[in-house]
Amino acid sequence: MALTDDAIDKIKAMIVAGELAPGSRLPKEEILAEQLGLSRSSLREAVRALAAMRILITRQGDGTYVSSLEPHLLLETLSFAADVSQGHAALQLLQVRRLLEPQATGLAAALLKPEDLGELRDILDRSRSVATVEEFVAHDTAFHLKIVEAVGNPVLSMLLQVVSTRTQRVRIVRGSRTRHALDHAHRDHEQILAALTSRDALLAASAATVHITAVEQWLAASLTDTSDEPPTPAPSGSSLPSGSSGSFGSSVPSGSSCSSCSSGPGAVPEAVRSASSAVPAPPCPGGGPARAPGAAPGTGAQAARSVSGSHHGRTGITPTR
């Protein structure tokens, strides 16, 4: 393995130095092996490994080429990390998603075309008639990806796919103990689409933050749950609970409250509080200004504005088209 690693490093060094440009063909095996001072068997192993990383492309009967080396293609190989992540590792990935996706959602408000909004409407409508968790997650993934792709940055799109793969989403949905959690996610999606349709970047970013934070809070709470009876995961292809449709989440995370709501603030899981310095306060269903637990009145608006980075809905992500 050490010899193979050495071979990988040497080929990578040639690419970084510009000796092998994107799209260029590698020298014949015997020539390259001699040039690098490697055995042909070690070189073959290195080529296979680099092909798996999307750095090289092997064409049957034509030779081996350097790929386009576009960042979003190279990032795709990292999706396996999200597929196998559970517990605190999965929570860390959700934190990354919360930091990136709301900003992209806010920016998309000004970039989505009318036909894009129509497609998002169709996706949500179809998601209400699904019979299995897998079917819903497919629509859930398509909905969020369509929004992010409007930004026109393939690196951002792939990065968000990497930190939140379909496998990971299915695992989270199946682990949920909340009977009506699927309905709550539909409500979150509707709020996101309504904000996008009204071209309100700040509201769209805030709605996306609420949606992702609700999932993050549930996962954090499940990690600190002291119950002796862990949740029983549904079998593959299982039907959605009766009376519910959709995914998971809540329109208002348990850690927020406002002057117009009669219910008191819930406890925000410690894992979420320690994961970030602040979670933007979500819009309140009672109509009043939302504020985080312990925050002074009137701070909800500032927290919401912090989601998008400005008072005018501008975000920190620069569109590439």
C-alpha span between 208 and 201 (Å, rounded) = 11
pLDDT at residue 214 is higher than 50: yes
% of residues, the chain, pLDDT over 70: 66
Q: What would the mean pLDDT of 240-263 be, rounded to a whole number? A: 42
Degrees, nearest 5: CA angle 313-181-127: 75
Specify whether 56 is located in the same domain as 79.
no
**Domain stops at, among 22, 37, 69:** 69
Q: What would the mean pLDDT of 248-260 be, rounded to a whole number? A: 40
Specify whether 190 is located in the same domain as 87.
yes
pLDDT at residue 152 is higher than 80: yes
Specify whether 37 is located in the same domain as 111.
no
Which residue do the tokens 């219910």 mark? 263
In a domain, 295, yes or no: no
End-to-end CA distance of the chain: 44
| Token pair recorded at residue 177 | 């103990």
In a domain, 285, yes or no: no
Domain housing 146: 75-253
Specify whether 103 is located in the same domain as 14.
no
**Domain stops at, among 18, 45, 69:** 69
Q: What would the mean pLDDT of 262-271 be, rounded to a whole number? A: 37
CB 245 within 8 A of CB 127: yes
Is 294 exposed, middle or buried, given 0-12, 13-18 or 19+ CB atoms closer than 10 A?
exposed
Q: What is the DSSP string of 182-228?
A: HHHHHHHHHHHHHHHHTT-HHHHHHHHHHHHHHHHHHHHHHHH---S
In a domain, 289, yes or no: no
**Domain stops at, among 35, 69, 103:** 69
- Greater confidence (82 vs 155) lies with 155
The pLDDT assigned to 281 comes to 43
Here the CATH number for the domain that contains residue 47 is 1.10.10.10
Q: What would the mean pLDDT of 94-122 be, rounded to a whole number? A: 96
Q: Which helix (H) or strand (E) holds 269?
A: none
In a domain, 318, yes or no: no
Specify whether 198 is located in the same domain as 103.
yes
Specify whether 47 is located in the same domain as 179.
no
Specify whether 11 is located in the same domain as 146.
no
In a domain, 63, yes or no: yes
In a domain, 262, yes or no: no
In a domain, 321, yes or no: no
Contact partners, residue 54, CB within 8 Å, separation at least 6: 67, 73, 74, 76, 77
Q: What would the mean pLDDT of 75-88 be, rounded to a whole number? A: 79
Specify whether 81 is located in the same domain as 58.
no
Specify whether 92 is located in the same domain as 225.
yes
Specify whether 128 is located in the same domain as 146.
yes
Which residue do the tokens 């992010």 mark? 148
Here the CATH number for the domain that contains residue 176 is 1.20.120.530
- Binning pLDDT at 50, 70 and 90, where does residue 180 land? low
pTM of the shown model: 0.63
C-alpha span between 208 and 94 (Å, rounded) = 13
Domain count, the chain: 2
Specify whether 14 is located in the same domain as 147.
no
HEC letters along 4-47: HHHHHHHHHHHHHCCCCCCCCECCCHHHHHHHHCCCHHHHHHHH
pLDDT at residue 282 is higher than 50: no
Beta pairing, strands 56-59 & 290-291: unpaired
In a domain, 175, yes or no: yes
Between the CA of residue 33 and those of 17, 21, 23, 117, 187, what are the distances in Å?
18, 18, 20, 54, 59
Question: How many other C-beta atoms are found inside a 10 Å radius of the C-beta of residue 288?
Answer: 15
Q: What mean pLDDT, rounded, does the chain reach?
A: 74
Specify whether 232 is located in the same domain as 199.
yes
Spell 189-221 as b/e; 16+ CB within 10 A means b: bebbbebbeeebbbbbbbbbbbbbbbbbbbbbb
